[in-house]
Structure 1
């Protein structure tokens, strides 16, 4: 499996390629990694199915967190295929992950999946994303067969639609900088912010909130697991922006040090990753060098997902 972006692929083809994992077999895993893969110890080792996926190259030379989230969704979901053949579809309904170490974007990632439980309605999986023999993400996910029950939701905000809004590619494409060029030409997710983007211009005295329209830049395969993975991928974009807005900061500020710490997501209803969805975001708190972002995703008037992420947000003096 190649480690570099394939230059002949479009951004969406590249994303699908990244989400197409190769199954390597089974292995014993421990708290330190995969036994036999430079693991320091096999204490508490358990059996896992192991997959591998390549990394997307990034301007900052670290793996994009949304990529690892999406690949973990795929790895976990692939271990449910036999269950779904017997019992019917079990779409993902929640995920929780901790970013433990920065990933190297020149190397592939291995995903060791523990099949924790398959009950009558729910399936639980734990995934260890591993590079260089050490975990870079610890991830758990739960899947549930579709069922009837109580139903209510938040009302979708009455906001301008995506038509007529400028995309980040349009706003930043003229800037001669690696990060701006990447956003303009290589991102597989289109973003159309309703408020002014925080990449270059501060937003002084702004509330800690923002709204962004998103969708994949091209059509996706019909597999619901891929659409859920793409939504997880997109959920890592811009969720900490409200923290910066509240404090009049921009992503271009050289003093800024930001890194995702953990990420949770709840999938409420079916979603199409290649149709427009509204991502409303707010930050209820920032303290001790950390900022919290909360988001809701709406599509077709329905609340399809809720997201929470805490990140390290430091301003170097």
Structure 2
């Protein structure tokens, strides 16, 4: 995948029945299905059963088994509640009749109410002043560790620009936070908020768990850890423009028991808070033989 168009194609599902859908997978460099893809496809399936003017405001998911890239994923949607203002859907994802993922999502009619938000960090470097993953590969590919270079070489529909790029050759512990700008590659046509939420859900699984590794970076890295997303939650607050850069500000309050916890907020360039994310992931040290 190299553009917004290719990402949108992955989000589209084949309808089997009124409440059953089927999706295919594309690798992001891992031998298993990317968690963000399953999250976004499950949210898409849930939206196909919403027939009123309701928008997702939260989702909560558990990753139960690793997904196989070459096997279609079947999504079954169950309506848990259809009230006057809220609808709650449960989505179960299966492969070969084995449940690999479950999601609950809640949808709400637009209503007026009190509004506030926490501000974004002051004096954040703007994306125009930063190197993207593509720039890092082009400028420093010859000196990057092989696994880092291979990861950056994977074609992606999103461009990422971290405000700080650690030197992979100088391993040292880092603070448990990160700020990463991101933007879809290629032009983005007008789309409804429900589709933008699905794209944002896909992107939200990038970068977040890495922050839990930062405080242990002198010893721990992707090559000597077994990592996997365990659960993922997301809350949607406001509309946003996918034609401009968005900022993912992430922190990791805790790690322990071979698990890392991270949470983050997604802002527009103007500092408008559009969504928040929380995830716990496996961080199991690989024992050396």
CA deviation string 1:178-221 (max 9, x = no partner): 874564452111110001157x3455232111100012113155
Give the secondary-structure state (helix, strand or coil) at the position aligned to 1:69: helix
Larger RCO, structures 1/2 (Cα 8 Å, 6+ apart): 2
Matched, 1:227 2:192: no
Displacement after TM superposition at 1:57 (Å): 2.5
The match for 2:240 is: 271
Pick aligned residue for 1:50 from 6, 17, 20 = 20
Show the counterpart of 2:263: 294
Aligned to 1:132: 96
How many residue pairs end up in the alignment? 280
Change (3 A) 1:134 1:59: same
Counterpart-to-counterpart distance in 1, 2:57 and 2:250: 20
Q: Distance in 1 between matches of 2:150 and 2:4?
A: 16
Residue of structure 2 in register with 1:120 after alignment? 84
Asked whether the equivalents of residues 111 and 130 of structure 1 are also in contact (C-alpha less than 8 Å), the reply is yes
Change in Cα spacing, 1:233 to 1:250, as seen in structure 2 (3 Å) is farther
Q: Which residue of 1 aligns with 2:128?
A: 163
Query: Structure 1: any 5+ residue segments left out of the alignment?
Result: 1-8, 27-48, 84-88
For residues 232-268 of structure 1, give each alpha carbon's deviation from its aligned partner in whole angstroms, at most 9, with x where no partner exists: 1110001012111111158865211111000000011
Matched-pair contact (CA < 8 Å) for 2:2–2:156: no
Structure 2 CA distance for aligned equivalents of residues 256 and 223 of structure 1:
39
Secondary structure of the structure 1 residue equivalent to 2:264: strand
1:303 equivalent among 250, 273, 279: 273
CA distance 1:123–1:250, shift in 2 (3 Å): farther
Match status 1:314 vs 2:278? no
Normalised by the size of structure 2, how large is the TM-score? Answer: 0.90
For 1:211, which of 166, 179, 200 is the aligned residue?
A: 179
Equivalent in 250, 254, 266 of residue 285 of structure 1: 254
What is the distance in 1 between the residues matched to 2:111 and 2:33?
Answer: 36
Residues in 2 aligned to 1:162 and 1:251: alpha-carbon distance in whole angstroms: 28
